[in-house]
């Protein structure tokens, strides 16, 4: 099944970039978990275990020909929707939202896997229906439904962050397929007409803490000890890092736990406090290189499916990086999007690495003749 010649096509530069980011992640988590009496003392160790597992997922996603995977796209999508429904029914509640499914000692977030499902199913649909002249409205209806189902389900949890991530994958692919200007105007008009309704629906489905977050974003100092606390502490952490940062383990904000969620959604703040502007620059360069590498894969992909898959992964990672960091910098409301490859979390790590596996999959098969 696996052609050993593919190994020669494996891109080691990519591995270097990914390892670079993962190294910074483990470093930051080490810093967070060093705090004494920390229950999560082995946080960075756990992350290392997850990275190892995630590489397994990466390997699987890489070796099975992406055309083969694509054949099962709708099945995978179906399973994913089912899992999301199960979460609604039997999910474990954490942090006020129902996101977790437990299988014995092992619990995971199906909403993370939803990203992969959406990626596969949209890439399949778009690549099979792509045309030179762009999409018409009627052709967009189906992918919108495909997106809509998991989107609504994760919004119910409520998990605004994942809902956004799913949309990014869709939007990235839209860039690629293009659509007719008439359709664009039409979609725009429809959107404007339904905006109040959508807003209402959206607003009603937000839990009170999410509404608070949005309001807080507009004025963080309004409630410095409540919801605004995250944003304020995060800005203090990043801002106090200065040019060179406070050095490893020197981040007082995170060391002293002023920064909540320092190991998950706010890991960037922990990193920026200890490594300063230089650190941010290095991290963004690494992500930039990863995305450029992805673009290169998309450019050189053998076929439309490869291109769509690559673009989907680029969009997913690129937008998540953008949203997460903007959030920690106080440029956006806190929506709970993890920073790919950096944030602590098994399911997210496995999902991201599997997505990168698909990217590598496309890359190594670009010279192959598979029909």
Partner 1 sequence: MKRMDLRDYSSLPQENLRKIQRRIVFLLIVIGIGFCGILVRSWTLQINEGSFYQEQSENNRIREVFIQPRRGRIYDRNGNILVNNVPGFTLYLIPEDVKDHDYVIHKVSEVLGFPNEEIVKKIDQRQSSPYLPVKIRDGLTLKEVALFEEDQLNLAGLKIEVEYQRNYVFGRTASHVLGYVSEINEKQMESSVYDNLPPGTLIGQYGIEKRYDQYLRGEPGEKGIEVDALGHEIKILNVREPEGSKDLYLTIDLATQQAAEQGLGEEAGAIVAMEPETGDILAMTSHPAFDPQALSERISQKEWDLLLKDPFKPLNNRAIQGTYPPGSVFKILMSIAALEANKLDPQQGVSCQGALPFGKRVFRDWKRGGHGIVDLHRSLVESCDVYFYKLGEELGIDLIADEAHRFGLGHATGIDLPSEKEGIIPSTEWKLKTRNEQWFPGETLSVSIGQGYVNFTPLQAAYMMSQVANGGYRYKPRLLKETYDRQNERKETFPPVLLESHEISSRTLKIVREALRGVVHEPHGTAGGAKSEFFETAGKTGTAQVIAAKAGVGGNLNSKTLPKLLQDHAWFVAYAPYDHPKIVVAVLVEHGGHGGSTAAPLAKKVFEAYLNKPKEGGEQTLKKS
Q: Footprint of partner 1 on this chain (CB under 8 A)? A: 35, 127-133, 172, 175-176, 178, 224-226, 229, 233, 235-243, 252-253, 255-260, 272-273, 276-277, 280-281, 284, 287-288, 291-292, 295, 298-299, 301-305, 307, 311, 314-315, 318-319, 321-322, 325-326, 329, 331
Rounded least distance, CB 319 to partner 1, Å: 7
How far apart are CB 352 and partner 1 at their closest, in Å?
A: 16
Residue 290 to residue 296: CA distance in whole angstroms? 10
What is the nearest approach in angstroms of partner 1 to the Cβ of residue 256?
A: 4
- Choice between 52 and 243, CB closer to partner 1: 243
Specify the residue, 33 or 347, whose C-beta has the smaller distance to partner 1: 33
* Among the listed residues 292, 357, 298, 300, the one whose alpha carbon sits nearest the alpha carbon of residue 318: 292
Give whichever of 7 and 256 is closer to partner 1, judged by the CB atom.
256
306 and 370 Cβ atoms separated by less than 8 Å: no
DSSP string, 242-298: TTT-S-TT--HHHHTT-STTTTTTTHHHHHHHHHHHHHHHHHHHHHHHHHHHHHHHH
Instruction: Give yes or no for a contact between 15 and 360, defined as CB atoms under 8 angstroms apart.
Output: no
Whichever of 57 and 265 has its CB closer to partner 1, that residue is 265
Query: Which lies closer to partner 1 via its Cβ, residue 26 or residue 237?
Result: 237
In the complex, minimum distance from the CB of residue 102 to partner 1, in angstroms, rounded to a whole number: 19
Rg of the chain in Å (alpha carbons): 21
Q: Which is nearer to partner 1, 99 or 124 (CB)?
A: 124
Q: Give the residue with the Cβ less far from partner 1, 312 or 345.
A: 312
Q: To the nearest whole angstrom, how small is the minimum distance from the Cβ of residue 59 to partner 1?
A: 26
Q: What CA–CA distance (Å, rounded) separates 348 from 81? A: 17
Q: Are 12 and 360 in contact (CB under 8 A)?
A: no
Nearer to partner 1, 101 or 231 (CB): 231
* Dist CA 215 CA 217 (whole Å): 5
Strands 92-94 vs 106-108: parallel, antiparallel or unpaired? unpaired
End-to-end CA distance of the chain: 14
Query: Which residues, 6 or more positions from 92, have their beta carbon under 8 angstroms from its beta carbon?
Result: 98, 99, 100, 101, 102, 107
Q: How far is the CB of 322 from partner 1 (least distance, A)?
A: 4
CB of 348 to partner 1, least distance (A): 19
Q: For residue 108, give the DSSP letter.
A: E
Minimum distance, C-beta of residue 293 to partner 1, in the bound complex (Å): 12
Nearer CB in complex with partner 1: 57/173: 173
Q: How far is the CB of 172 from partner 1 (least distance, A)?
A: 6
Task: Map residue 100 onto helix, strand or coil.
Answer: strand
Can you tell me the distance from the alpha carbon of 369 to that of 134, in angstroms, rounded to the nearest whole number?
A: 28
Cβ at position 310, least distance to partner 1 in Å:
8
- Closest by CA position to 128, among listed 180, 73, 182: 73
Give 67 or 156: the residue with its C-beta nearer to partner 1: 67
Burial class (CB in 10 A: 0-12, 13-18, 19+), 205: middle
CA pair distance 41, 94, nearest whole angstrom: 20
Contact between 183 and 137 (Cβ < 8 Å): yes
């Amino acid at each position: 099944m696996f052609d050993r010649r593919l190994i020669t096509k494996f891109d080691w530069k990519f591995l270097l970039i990914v390892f670079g980011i993962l190294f910074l992640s483990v470093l930051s988590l080490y810093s967070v978990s060093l705090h004494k009496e920390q229950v999560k003392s082995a946080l960075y160790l756990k992350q290392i275990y997850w990275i190892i597992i995630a590489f397994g997922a990466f390997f699987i996603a890489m070796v099975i020909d992406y055309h083969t995977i694509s054949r099962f796209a709708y099945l995978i999508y179906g399973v994913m929707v089912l899992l999301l429904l199960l979460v609604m029914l039997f999910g474990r509640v954490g942090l006020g939202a129902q996101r977790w499914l437990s299988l014995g000692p092992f619990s995971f977030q199906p909403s993370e896997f939803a990203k992969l499902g959406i990626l596969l199913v949209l890439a399949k649909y778009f690549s099979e229906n792509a045309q030179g002249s762009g999409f018409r409205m009627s052709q967009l209806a189906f992918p919108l439904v495909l997106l809509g189902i998991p989107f609504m389900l994760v919004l119910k949890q409520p998990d605004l962050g994942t809902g956004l991530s799913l949309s990014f994958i869709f939007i990235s692919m839209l860039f690629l397929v293009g659509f007719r200007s008439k359709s664009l105007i039409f979609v725009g008009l429809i959107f404007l007409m339904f905006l109040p309704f959508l807003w209402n629906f959206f607003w009603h489905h937000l839990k009170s803490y999410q509404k608070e977050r949005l309001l807080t974003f507009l004025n963080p100092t309004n409630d410095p000890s409540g919801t605004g606390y995250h944003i304020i502490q995060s800005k203090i952490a990043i801002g106090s890092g200065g040019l060179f940062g406070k050095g490893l383990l020197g981040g007082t904000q995170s060391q002293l736990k002023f920064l909540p969620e320092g190991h998950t959604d706010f890991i960037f703040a922990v990193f920026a406090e200890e490594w300063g502007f230089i650190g941010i620059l290095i991290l963004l360069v690494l992500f930039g290189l990863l995305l450029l590498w992805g673009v290169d894969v998309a450019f050189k992909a053998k076929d439309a499916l490869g291109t769509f898959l690559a673009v989907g992964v680029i969009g997913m990672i690129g937008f998540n990086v953008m949203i997460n960091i903007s959030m920690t910098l106080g440029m956006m409301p806190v929506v709970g999007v993890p920073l790919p490859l950096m944030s602590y979390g098994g399911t997210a790590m496995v999902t991201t690495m599997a997505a990168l596996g698909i990217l590598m999959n496309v890359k190594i098969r670009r010279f192959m003749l598979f029909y």
